[in-house]
Structures are given as structure tokens and as C-alpha cells.
Amino acid sequence: MRKIRAFFRLLLFICYTIYLIVHLVIRSLAYGIDIQYSLQFRQNWVRMLLPHLGVRMHVQGTPPDFPCVLMANHRSYLDPVVITHDSRVYPVAKAEVAGWPIVGYGVKVSGVLFLKRESAESRRNTLQGIADKLAEGFAVLLFPEGTTHAQASTLAFRSGGFKLAAENGFPVVPVAIEYRNPEDYWIGDDGFLPHFFRRFGEPSLDVFVHYGSAILDSRADVLMSLTKEWIDAELLNIQKSF
């Protein structure tokens, strides 16, 4: 039964994603690129898709609707999707995602910044891209741990995004993401299809997304410390509720 459920959910995922891609491509050819429309349409796509995949969202706090850097802990490749359920943001994703079948092209046309973490030039270009999007009035989503993991609290944060926010006067909004079942963590070399068939064959998947208050400071180390403290405390609170 689980394999059958996963198979039909995969078909739904493919159909929904093709719909997203075709709609945005045709619209951009007809009317030009409208990123605000693309972000809204992607959010509607996520809200239609997740329930059909068995994902149950538990959201607490107020998602920001102003230019800011959302800093979230990282559990799964699904994290950017669950964030865009309530926030119209530019996620920064690993460059490898761009090469995923169907998924890669879908995220390209819907507003994503890609990063090759092993490339210093790519990191510089991505930071510049983040600064540009913030200046244009968008929110940007970063995962400062740099990788997914199964530790109870956050790993050490990378400082680049915090320096950019501090130097340019943009607020940081901390976000805690947790999954009820640790097997839903998408970590290591776990590929797209193996993980999908293993976990989306289950009846449901519970994900908790908690938004903190905006933090504004001209000191990057203070921004990073306060963000990490809030996320670690919130993860502990979520875990205690299970």
C-alpha cells in the first residue's frame, strides 16, 4: 500500500510541477517576466501540492511580508517548500537541485538563487544576488548551517548572510523547522526518488515551522548569536511537544 501511495503521489507531484513550469513559461513569453506573480503562483502551487503529498503544516508566528533575511535550520530538501507555503521568498538552494529532473527547472522559473558552496566565486555572486533582491524589496531565505542534518540543535552557522544583513541594515527573521518523525529528515546522500518512495508512502508527514520576531543589529556576530539561540530554544520546545 505504501508503494502504491508513493507512486500516485509522485505522479501528482510531476503533474503539478509540469503545470507550474508550463504556466510560468507561457505567461512570461506572453507578458514578460513578473517575479511577484511567479512568487504568488508558486505559493499557490505549494498550498495545492503539499496536502496531496500528505504533508501537514503546523505554523506558529507571523511570516514576514517585508524585505529581510529569513534564517532557518535545515532538516530536509523539503524545507524551502514548506517555507514558501506561507512566505513569498527567494530561497537560496544548493546548485545540485537545479539538476534534478522536473524539480530543477520548476524552481528556476519560480524564483530561486542557486549556490555552489565549494566555489568562492559562486558564494560571492550569491551574496550579491541576495543584496540585490533585498534592495528590490524581496525577502530571502538562507540556511546558514549549509547542510541538512539530524542533530537536535543547530550546527555552526556560516557568517556571510549575517554580515550582509548587518552591513546593509536588513533585519534577520529566525525560523525553526522540525519534523515529527526524524525519518523525514532528508540528509546525506539520500537521493530524490529513494527518499520520496520511502517517506511519501506514509499516510502523513508532520512539519512544524515557527517564525520568530525580526532582529536588527549592525553587528553580524550579534545577529548570528541571537538567531542561533532563538532557533535552538524553539527546536527544543517543538521536540518537547511530541
Q: What is the tens place of the pLDDT at every residue in 26-59?
A: 887 888 878 889 899 999 999 999 999 999 999 9
Residue 161 pLDDT: 93
Question: Which domains does the chain possess?
Answer: 2-240 (3.40.1130)
Contact 89, 139 (CB under 8 A): yes
Residue 141: CB atoms within 10 Å: 25
pLDDT value at position 105?
Answer: 63
Is 5 strand, coil or helix? helix
What is the edge-to-edge ordering of all strands in the sheet holding 172-179?
55-60, 205-211, 172-179, 69-72, 139-142, 89-94, 113-115
Each residue's pLDDT tens digit, 62-100:
999 999 999 999 999 899 999 999 999 988 766 666 666
Q: How far is CA 194 from CA 7, 56, 137, 205, in A?
A: 12, 21, 38, 16
Q: At what angle do helices 160-168 and 120-135 cross, to 10 degrees?
A: 30
Return the closest-CA partner of residue 109 out of 29, 206, 210, 200: 29
pLDDT band at 236 (very low <50, low <70, confident <90, very high): very high
Please tell me the least confidently modeled range out of 8-17, 53-62, 107-116, 228-237: 107-116
Residues 181-195: b if buried by 16+ CB within 10 A, e if exposed: eeebbbeeeeeeeeb
> Between 115 and 151, whose confidence is greater?
151
pLDDT(211) > 70: yes
Which cell numbers in the block locate residue 129?
544576488
Nearest to 103 by CA among 119, 114, 118, 117: 114
Dihedral Cα 165, 37, 35, 106, nearest 10 deg: 100
Pairing of strands 205-211, 172-179: antiparallel
The model carries a pTM of: 0.89
Query: pLDDT tens for residues 102-148?
Result: 556 666 666 677 765 555 565 677 778 888 889 999 999 999 998 99
